[in-house]
């Protein structure tokens, strides 16, 4: 009699449920892979919440960072202006400072060179993984920048009113208004283009207070900033201290006396040096006038001739 053994399949319901769950998980995994790949490259989450903060013509594009634990994410920023859109087939140009950058912000001041709308976009990269582009919701125009009152420093240098202004860049002009603090005083306005260098405004009168305020003007966008708060300085009341005035008077009088005396003395010295005065001895001095000397000499000659003639008379008689 033969004995036959049959191997029937396992009909345990728990084992069948486990196989079904495993199959579903594998199917879900393989179905998800095509959604995470574009051309074989894994896609990172795109940066979100793009915005531009612009103050005093300094433009900063900002976004929420992409977080991957233990990894450094790099960002690329591109822009498209009116010229690129109309005349260069809508090409996007990489930012000069932020392609790439690790920070979730980008200074696009040097990229925004015209007062036209600019489109901006940014994406994240990690190795071969690249996110989709995130584009700024509304194009940015630099004429929307916020202009703030400039920082200034008002000082006095002796009797000079001096102001020093912060450096906001070459596009800014400063309209400086200053006046003497008194009822009905006239306000003067001076355009200043130098930045960071002290500028002399006016020579102040002693005992008076002068006030200054300033605002900026940006020609590229045709806008002014609000004016700053007025700052005032005051000069001491006395024009010159009494001692200084007395010293100046004495010095002036000394100049009036000493200078002519010195000139006269120098003239005397030069005359004595070039033409010295010779003092003759008393024996050589002529006390009588020339006429008297001539008449005296004639009398002496006549007397001498008479004496000679009288001495010759005996000799003639002997002859």
Q: Tell which of 88, 122, 144 closes a domain.
A: 144
DSSP 136-171: -SS-B-GGGPBP-PPPEEEEEETTEEEEEE----TT
Are residue 58 and residue 130 in the same domain, yes or no? yes
Strand, helix or coil for residue 231:
strand
Buried (b) or exposed (e) across 90-129, using 16+ Cβ within 10 A?
Answer: eebeebeebeebeebbbbbbebbeeebebbbbbbbeeeee
Are residue 131 and residue 59 in the same domain, yes or no? yes
Are residue 124 and residue 64 in the same domain, yes or no? yes
* Mean pLDDT of the region 251-258: 80
Are residue 204 and residue 170 in the same domain, yes or no? yes
> In whole angstroms, how far apart are CA 216 and each of 16, 151, 229, 260?
80, 10, 13, 59
Q: What is the model's pLDDT at position 156?
A: 87
Q: What is the model's pLDDT at position 32?
A: 46
Could you tell me the residue range of the domain that residue 125 belongs to?
Answer: 48-144
Q: What is the model's pLDDT at position 308?
A: 44
Residue 33 has pLDDT above 50, yes or no: no
Local confidence band at 158 (pLDDT 50, 70, 90 cut-offs): confident
User: Does any domain span residue 61?
Assistant: yes
Query: Could you tell me what percent of the chain has a pLDDT over 90?
Result: 48
* H/E stretch holding 189: strand 188-192
> Which tokens is 35 given?
């959604």
Count of structural domains, the chain:
2
Local confidence band at 207 (pLDDT 50, 70, 90 cut-offs): confident
Q: Which residues contact 92 (CB under 8 A, 6 or more apart)?
A: 78, 79, 80, 84, 121
CA distance 271 to 251: 30
User: Does any domain span residue 226?
Assistant: yes
Q: What is the model's pLDDT at position 190?
A: 93
Are residue 218 and residue 166 in the same domain, yes or no? yes
Of residues 142 and 271, more confidently modeled: 142
Are residue 132 and residue 165 in the same domain, yes or no? no
Q: Tell which of 188, 220, 238 closes a domain.
A: 238
Q: Tell which of 112, 144, 176 closes a domain.
A: 144
Are residue 60 and residue 109 in the same domain, yes or no? yes
Q: What is the model's pLDDT at position 216?
A: 96
Buried (b) or exposed (e) across 138-167, using 16+ Cβ within 10 A?
Answer: ebbbbeebebeebebebeeeeeebbbebee
pLDDT digits (tens, 9 = 90+) for 222-235: 999 999 999 999 87
Tell me the range of 189-193, 295-299, 315-319 where mean pLDDT is highest. 189-193
Domain CATH for 213: 2.60.40.10
Residue 30 has pLDDT above 60, yes or no: no
Are residue 132 and residue 163 in the same domain, yes or no? no
Q: What is the model's pLDDT at position 6?
A: 39
Residue 92 has pLDDT above 70, yes or no: yes
Of residues 303 and 166, more confidently modeled: 166
Local confidence band at 262 (pLDDT 50, 70, 90 cut-offs): confident
């Amino acid at each position: 009699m033969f004995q036959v053994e049959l191997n029937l399949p396992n009909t345990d319901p728990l084992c069948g449920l486990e196989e079904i769950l495993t199959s579903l998980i594998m199917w879900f995994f393989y179905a998800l892979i095509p959604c995470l790949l574009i051309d074989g490259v894994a896609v990172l989450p795109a940066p979100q919440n793009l915005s531009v903060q612009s103050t005093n013509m300094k433009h900063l594009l900002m976004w929420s960072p992409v977080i991957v634990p233990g990894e450094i994410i790099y960002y690329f920023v591109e822009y498209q202006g009116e010229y690129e859109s109309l005349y260069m087939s809508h090409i996007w140009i990489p930012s000069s400072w932020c392609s790439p950058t690790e920070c979730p912000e980008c200074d696009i001041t040097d990229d925004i060179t015209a007062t036209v709308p600019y489109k901006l976009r940014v994406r994240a990269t990690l190795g071969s993984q690249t996110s989709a582009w995130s584009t700024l919701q509304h194009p940015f125009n630099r004429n929307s920048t916020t202009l703030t009152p400039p920082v200034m420093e008002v000082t006095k240098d002796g009797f000079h009113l001096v102001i020093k202004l912060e450096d906001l860049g070459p596009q800014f002009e400063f309209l400086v208004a200053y006046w003497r603090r008194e009822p009905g005083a006239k306000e003067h306005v001076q355009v200043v283009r130098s930045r960071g260098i002290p500028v002399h405004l006016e020579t102040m009168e002693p005992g008076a207070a002068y006030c200054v305020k300033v605002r900026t003007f940006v020609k590229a966008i045709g806008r002014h900033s609000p004016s700053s708060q007025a700052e005032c300085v005051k000069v001491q009341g006395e024009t010159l201290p009494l001692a200084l005035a007395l010293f100046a008077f004495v010095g002036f009088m000394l100049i009036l006396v000493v200078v002519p005396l010195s000139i006269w003395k120098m003239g005397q010295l030069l005359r004595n040096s070039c033409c010295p005065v010779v003092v003759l001895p008393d024996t050589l001095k002529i006390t009588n006038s020339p006429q008297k000397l001539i008449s005296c000499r004639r009398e002496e000659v006549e007397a001498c001739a008479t004496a000679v003639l009288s001495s010759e008379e005996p000799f003639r008689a002997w002859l």
